[in-house]
Amino acid sequence: MNLPLGLALTVALLIGNGFFVASEFALVAAKRHRLEKAAAHGSRAAAAAVKGIRELSLMLAGAQLGITLCSLGLGVVSEPLIAGSLTPLFHDLGLPETAAHVVAFVIALAIVTFLHMVIGEMAPKSWAIAHPERSATILALPFRGFTVAVRPILTTLNGVSNLLLRLFKVEPRDEISNPRTPAQLQRLVEESRRLGLIETTDHAVLTQALRAPVAEIAPLVTPADGIIAVAAGASCQEVIDACARTGRTRLIVRDDAGETVGVVHVRDAYLARRRGAASRAGDLAYRLPELPPTVSVAEAVTTLRVAHRQLALVRAPDGALIGLITLDDLLSTLLIPT
pLDDT in tens, the chain (338 residues): 677 888 899 999 999 999 999 999 999 888 888 898 888 888 999 999 999 988 888 898 899 999 999 999 998 888 888 888 888 888 788 888 888 888 888 998 899 999 999 999 999 999 999 999 999 999 999 999 999 999 999 889 888 888 888 888 887 766 555 545 566 667 777 877 777 777 877 777 677 666 666 678 888 888 988 888 999 999 999 999 999 998 888 999 998 888 888 899 999 999 988 888 778 988 899 888 999 988 888 788 888 888 888 889 999 988 888 989 888 877 776 655 55
Sheet holding 229-231, edge to edge: 229-231, 250-254, 260-265
Query: How much is the pLDDT for 22?
Result: 94
**What is the CATH number for 315?**
3.10.580.10
Residues 105 and 155 in one domain: yes
Residues 8 and 129 in one domain: yes
Residues 79 and 119 in one domain: yes
Query: How much is the pLDDT for 336?
Result: 55
**CB 220 within 8 Å of CB 325:** yes
| In-domain check, residue 30 | yes
Query: How much is the pLDDT for 13?
Result: 94
Query: How much is the pLDDT for 334?
Result: 61
Closest to 143 in 3D by CA, of 72, 59, 61? 59
Classify residue 26 as exposed, middle or buried by CB count within 10 Å of its CB (0-12, 13-18, 19+). buried
Query: How much is the pLDDT for 303?
Result: 86
Query: How much is the pLDDT for 212?
Result: 60
Which range of residues forms the domain containing residue 193? 182-213
Q: If DSSP states are collapsed to H, E and C, what string results for 225-244? A: HHCCEEECCCEHHHHHHHHH
Sorted by sequence, the CB contacts under 8 Å of residue 335 that are 6+ apart come out as 205, 208, 209
Residues 157 and 267 in one domain: no
| In-domain check, residue 173 | no
Residues 160 and 55 in one domain: yes
Query: How much is the pLDDT for 165?
Result: 84
Residues 98 and 125 in one domain: yes
Residues 102 and 225 in one domain: no
Query: How much is the pLDDT for 335?
Result: 58
Query: How much is the pLDDT for 242?
Result: 92
Residues 190 and 265 in one domain: no
- Separation of CA 127 from chain center: 20
Query: How much is the pLDDT for 210?
Result: 66
Closest to 319 in 3D by CA, of 285, 291, 282, 288? 291
Classify residue 102 as exposed, middle or buried by CB count within 10 Å of its CB (0-12, 13-18, 19+). middle
Residues 158 and 222 in one domain: no
| In-domain check, residue 277 | yes
Residues 98 and 233 in one domain: no
Total domain count, the chain: 3
| In-domain check, residue 176 | no
